[in-house]
Structure 1
Amino acid sequence: MTTSELVRTPYDRRVQLVQDTITSRSKLTDDAAKELAVHVLHALDSIPERMR
């Protein structure tokens, strides 16, 4: 038995959420929105926890 389901990590779900938000509010392509989403999450993750 093989399954074709992909295992999505919490990070993948966060990227998808940000990507969906970007594409719903701009004219960027999915690839460009995903690249921007990764940069946005990296920037947010670099903020110290106590400042968030």
Structure 2
Amino acid sequence: MQVLQVQLEIRPDPAEVGRARRWARSRIAGSGIEADEPLAETLILLISELV
């Protein structure tokens, strides 16, 4: 099992949600997961909810 750990510092600003999603998409694409895969969509949704 491969483990990947990365971090992004965000400010308490609603505009940061979009930046966090873009950052997550780039990390997901870099790991070989296609953007339209259910896993990628779920991860992006999770990021949006956490920010």
Which one has the largest radius of gyration? 1
TM range (shorter): 0.3 to 0.5
User: Which structure has the highest helix share of the two?
Assistant: 1
Task: Give the TM-score, by structure 2 length.
Answer: 0.46
* Structure with greater contact order relative to length (CA < 8 Å, sep ≥ 6): 2
Task: Give the TM-score, by structure 1 length.
Answer: 0.45
